[in-house]
Amino acid sequence: MADFNKEGLGNVLFVAISVCLVCSILVSSAAVMLKPQQQINQELDRKQNILRAAGMLSADSITDSEGRGVEELFERFRVRAVNLQTGEYTDAVDVESYDQAKASRVIAASRNLETAEDIATLGRREHVALVYLLETEQGALDKVVLPVRGYGLWGTLFGYLAIEGDLHTIAGLGFYTHKETPGLGGEVDNPDWKALWPGVSLFDESGAPAVRLVKTRSPEGSAAAAFEVDALSGATMTSRGVENLIRFWTGELGYGPFLNKLQAGA
């Protein structure tokens, strides 16, 4: 019988390739098996973020004060797709599976934004967006939650803007993913800063988006103060990004036409 040389090149290669094969099978099986659970978790996370923006769930809890969970609370929302150009509801997409950010990268499902109009640095804007409507028990509009996004300093911030039923007052703002620096731009996640948003007015007398992130607030009670939120200290670029993304999405190229239609009772 030929001598078995366990340190021979053939044997080393055989062992190395076998280990690689076994590991890759293990890793890919784990990825495939965990995918459905990951999707469920992502969906749960999305719903939690919508509820948090609407002030229905606090930052550190997955139930409200009455013990209602995410799914139960989220059921109160009506999810609709909106044609951003006309501001009208559309059945062109399936609200269960529609991925708005993905659609913005598809030429047929989005439009190019010229530099001057692209204040949130999006590049393209999708034709169809999802909106989350919450009604009071009497059937009046309580809140509407809108997906928003825009460029900060290091990358795009993705979040939700909740607006009160008057369609003029912010109910809350929260970002679920961003690349800003912890302690600087990352303070967009700070609950104390997020608490500054409810009650801020969105539009000036002419109906134009007017939110401003400022280093020094105007005197309390003044007309300008209604639109102001403290900028994040040491994070001018992130603050500007947040201001711009809110102005973009509440403006003519964002949800403006939809909010006008909703205001008119359509």
Ligand X SMILES: Cc1cc2nc3c(=O)[nH]c(=O)nc-3n(C[C@H](O)[C@H](O)[C@H](O)COP(=O)(O)O)c2cc1C
Which chain residues interact with ligand X by CB under 6 A?
153, 180-181, 184-185, 233-238
CB of 184 to ligand X, least distance (A): 4
CB of 234 to ligand X, least distance (A): 5
**Which residue lies nearer to ligand X by CB, 218 or 236?**
236
Nearest to 213 by CA among 199, 198, 229: 229
Q: Which amino acid is at 111?
A: R
CB of 239 to ligand X, least distance (A): 6
SS3 letters for 130-180? EEEEEECCCCCEEEEEEEEEEECCCCEEEEEEEEECCCCEEEEEEEEECCC
Report whether 189 contacts 238 (CB < 8 A): no
CB of 192 to ligand X, least distance (A): 17
**Which residue lies nearer to ligand X by CB, 118 or 180?**
180
Beta bridge partners of 79: 132
Point out the residue whose Cβ comes nearest to ligand X.
Answer: 185
**Which residue lies nearer to ligand X by CB, 50 or 188?**
188
**Which residue lies nearer to ligand X by CB, 49 or 238?**
238
Report CA Rg, the chain.
24
